[in-house]
Amino acid sequence: MPDTTTLYQKFGGEGTIAKVVDYFYDLVLADETVNHFFENTDMEKQRKHQTKFISYALGGPNQYSGQSMAKVHTGMNLQPVHFDAIVKHLHDALAHFGVGESDIDTALTKVGSLRDDILYK
């Protein structure tokens, strides 16, 4: 019988994902490639949104009520180097919390599917 456990459940639900997101933003805010995008951002609100978004992306409940990815990133003119930096930090945050590479690949594939909605807006 196939394992139907979602990555969201496997990783421990929203509580664990919130810790991953906190660590992820520590990495992002320390990275001069991308940290300027967050200079005027309410990071507490951002962390909550991102936790709900990543929870949903990993198969958890859809509690994400934010704007579309394209709309949120309009005017930022994000380039591949920025997207790749964010993906690397997400990889490192997941790995930091003991997530295996195959599960990280699955999660990053889902994030990667948003690339066209985020770049060059």
Rounded to the nearest 10 degrees, the angle between the axes of helix 13-29 and helix 80-96 is: 130
Phi, psi of 41 (to 5 degrees): -105, 135
89 is in an annotated binding site: no
Q: Encode burial over 41-58: b for 16+ CB neighbours within 10 A, e otherwise.
A: eeeeeebebbbbbbbbbb
DSSP state at residue 119: B
Question: Which residues lie closer than 8 Å to 74 by C-beta, 6 or more apart?
Answer: 121
73 is in an annotated binding site: yes
Residues in binding site? 49, 73
Can you say which residues are annotated as belonging to the binding site for heme?
49, 73
